[in-house]
């Protein structure tokens, strides 16, 4: 009996302490915003995450000269916002979490600086996208997320859909991801 009570307590504590990051959103409210660029490695991971959490993606342009951001809702509708409205969109949405996928090559630090410091922001910036996929799966608890992403990535590389891209032979050592300060 004591074991069951301890297990329930630890489970509830884990869910509350993570801010329910891994729980699906059955309501129409925005609890998490995914920020990444429209790029070969980052976009599929963001979409796999969106399928599971039903939350919007802000796709930053792959072309640095472009000033339009694309917000892809869970209903697959696309909304275009100006680059200078990034902070307004996030503040108006008032999410509990922001998940940033990619290092400075994918998501400029100027966007990260615009995120309200009161919003828990998780930045996944490893050089190896397989590691990022595993880290996101670990944070959210969405089992199979990393496997699905890695399988698609490998399939695209093997089919030569993406020219000049070679997958890394061994993943780098994952690092601990904590909310940005």
Kindly state the DSSP code that residue 63 receives in the 8-state scheme: S
- pLDDT computed for residue 66 by the predictor: 78
**Mean pLDDT in residue range 3-13:** 44
Spell out the residues 6+ positions from residue 117 whose beta carbon is closer than 8 angstroms to its own: 181
Helix axes 129-140, 42-53, angle to 10 degrees: 10
Is domain 28-158 annotated with CATH 3.40.50? yes
Please tell me the pTM assigned to this model.
0.76
Left if phi > 0, otherwise alpha if psi is -120 to 50, otherwise beta: which for 124? beta
For 167, the token pair is: 């997958």
- What confidence score (pLDDT) does residue 148 get? 94
For 92-145, write each residue's pLDDT tens digit.
999 999 999 999 989 999 999 999 999 999 999 999 999 999 999 999 999 999
Boundaries of every domain in the chain: 28-158
Which position has the token pair 């996030």?
Answer: 90
């Amino acid at each position: 009996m004591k074991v069951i009570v301890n297990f329930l307590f630890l489970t509830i504590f884990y869910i509350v302490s993570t801010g329910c990051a891994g729980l699906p959103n059955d309501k129409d409210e925005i609890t998490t915003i995914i920020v990444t660029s429209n790029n070969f490695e980052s976009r599929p991971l963001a979409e796999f995450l969106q399928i599971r959490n039903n939350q919007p993606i802000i796709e930053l342009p792959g072309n640095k000269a472009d000033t339009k951001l694309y917000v892809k809702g869970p209903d697959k509708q696309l909304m275009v916002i100006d680059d200078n409205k990034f902070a307004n969109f996030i503040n108006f949405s008032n999410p509990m979490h922001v998940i940033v996928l990619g290092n400075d090559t994918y998501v400029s630090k100027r966007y990260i600086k615009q995120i309200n410091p009161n919003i828990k922001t998780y930045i996944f910036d490893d050089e190896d996208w397989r590691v990022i996929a595993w880290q996101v799966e670990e944070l959210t608890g969405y089992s199979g997320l990393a496997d699905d992403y890695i399988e698609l990535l490998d399939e695209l590389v093997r089919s030569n859909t993406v020219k000049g891209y070679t997958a890394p032979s061994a993943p780098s050592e994952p690092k601990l991801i904590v909310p940005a300060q």
